[in-house]
Amino acid sequence: MLILAALVAAGEPPLSMDGPPVNRDEIPEAPYKIPQTPATGRKLSAIPGVTVKYYDVIGRNVGELHDWLDKHGPRDSQSHKVTPATSNWSIGSAVRFTKTGGRCTLTGATLKFTATAQLPRLAPGQKLPPAVLASWNAYVAAIEDRHAARLSFVHDRMGEVESAIMRSSCADWQKAPSEAIDRLSDQQARAFQADPKRQPKLLEPEKDS
């Protein structure tokens, strides 16, 4: 995640001051499992600032779909391991200020949330048996719900970043969003820790008895 910070004067010629970039790693989806977290009922398309990118998956059955995901899924930027889906986010910040008698006072803050999720989808023309298609659809829906919950968690807590900025000063405000986003990132990681006892997978459909 990357912070882009700019300082804009209100009622004066624009001034700018970029804070040092703070990079965070992408948080990949653990292969074939969705950690259980509180459901939000929110889709990625309903979260402002989110861009969804898809990669095509080819296969005629669950085994072939697994093989394709293992070979062609996105890679974790640090471990370089293939993972079915990833998401990352950034919060850009800008502040308004006034100067009176040489004293600078912050008067407001504006935040911009941007995020990207990379998800699998069936390649055009792929035809699966109805039971396999149902299993696939349930799997990708679970992945989307997982990443929607993850990104909603951050988006809905941007007020914490804004509050941190407004408690700071003109001289050191650039540090405030960085520290607040560090805390928010840690909260997100704890909230979405994988539960090894619950590992929904792309499963073979049950055969009729």
Question: What pairs with residue 93 in β-bridges?
Answer: 5, 111
Is 209 inside a domain boundary? no
Q: Per-residue pLDDT averaged across 58-68, rounded?
A: 94
Flag whether 36 is in a domain. Answer: no
* H or E segment and range at residue 184: helix 175-191
103-132 pLDDT, tens digit per residue, is 999 999 999 999 999 999 999 999 999 999
Residue 77 has pLDDT above 70, yes or no: no
pTM for the full model?
Answer: 0.77
The mean-pLDDT minimum among 94-98, 151-155, 204-208 falls in 204-208
CB 136 within 8 A of CB 66: no
pLDDT at residue 21 is higher than 70: no
pLDDT digits (tens, 9 = 90+) for 131-190: 999 999 999 998 899 899 999 999 999 999 999 999 999 988 989 999 999 999 999 988
Q: Please check whether residue 140 lies inside any domain of the structure.
A: yes
Q: Name the pLDDT band for 8 (thresholds 50, 70, 90).
A: very low
| Residue 202 belongs to some domain of the structure | no
Does 207 reside within a domain? no
Q: Is 188 helix (H, G, I), strand (E, B) or coil?
A: helix
What is the pLDDT of the chain when averaged over all its residues?
A: 79
206 in a domain, yes or no? no
**Range of 82's domain?**
3-29+45-191
Structure tokens at 45: 């398309």
The answer to whether 72 touches 84, Cβ cutoff 8 Å, is: no
* Phi/psi at 32 (5° precision): 60, 25
Q: Please count the structural domains in the chain.
A: 1
